[in-house]
Structure 1
Amino acid sequence: MSRWTGIRAVLFDLDGTLVDSAPDLGHAANLMRQRRGLPPLDEAFYRPRASSGARGMIEAAFGLTPEHPEFEAYRQEYLDTYGQVLTRRTHPFDGVAELIAALQHAKLAWGVVTNKIERFALPLTAALPLFDTVATVIGGDTTPHPKPHPAPLLEAARRINLPPAACLYVGDDERDIMAGRAAGMATVVARYGYLGIAADVEAWAADAIIDAPIGLLNYLDLS
Structure 2
Amino acid sequence: MFQAVQAVLFDLDGTLIDSAPDLGAAADKMRTDRGLPGLPLDDYRPMAGAGARGMLGVAFGMTPEHPEFLTYREEFFVNYENAMTERTVIFDGVHAMVQALQAMGMPWGVVTNKSQRFTLPLTAGMPLFASASVVISGDTTAHSKPHPEPLFEAARRLGFEPHRCVYVGDDERDIVAGRAAGMGTVAATYGYLGATDISQWQADAHIDLPLQLLKLIESA
- Which range, TM-score by smaller chain? over 0.9
Q: Which blocks of at least 5 consecutive residues in structure 2 are unaligned?
A: none
Q: Confirm or deny that 1:97 pairs with 2:114.
A: no
Classify the secondary structure of the residue corresponding to 2:185. strand
> After superposition, what is the alpha-carbon deviation per residue over 1:87-115, rounded to whole angstroms, capped at 9, x for unaligned?
00111100000000000000000000000
Ranges of 4+ aligned residues in structure 1 off by more than 3 Å = none
Count of matched residue positions in the alignment of Structure 1 and Structure 2:
220
- Give secondary structure in 2 for the equivalent of 1:87: coil
* Structure 2: distance between partners of 1:167 and 1:24: 31
RMSD: 1.0
2:160 corresponds to which of 152, 159, 162: 162
2:33 is aligned to 35
- Aligned match for 1:25, one of 18, 23, 26: 23
| 1-structure distance, mates of 2:123, 2:7 | 18
> Gaps spanning 5+ residues in structure 1: where?
none
Residue number in structure 1 paired with 2:82: 84
Whole-Å separation in 2 of the counterparts to 1:56 and 1:151: 24
Q: Which residue of 53, 66, 69 maps to 2:64?
A: 66
| Structure 1 residues 38-88: Cα deviation after superposition (integer angstroms, max 9, x where no partner) | 111111111110000011001110000001111111111111111001100
Distance 1:42 1:182 in 2: 37
* TM-score, normalised with respect to structure 1: 0.96
Cα distance in structure 2, aligned partners of 1:135 and 1:190: 21
Residue of structure 2 equivalent to 1:206: 203
TM-score, with normalisation over the residues of structure 2? 0.98
Deviations 1:140-182 (A, max 9, x none): 1111111000011110001111000010000000000000000
**For 1:10-31, what per-residue CA distance to the aligned partner results, in whole angstroms no more than 9, with x for missing partners?**
0000000000000000000111
Partner-residue secondary structure (3-state), 1:149: coil
What is the percent sequence identity of the aligned residues? 59
> 2:60 and 2:156 mapped to 1: Cα distance?
40
Matching of residue 217 in structure 1 with residue 214 in structure 2: yes
Could you tell me which residue of structure 1 aligns to residue 10 of structure 2? 12
The equivalent residue for 2:136 is 138
Report how far residue 222 of structure 1 moved. Answer: 5.5
Query: 1:221 Cα shift?
Result: 2.3
Secondary structure of the 1:189 match is strand
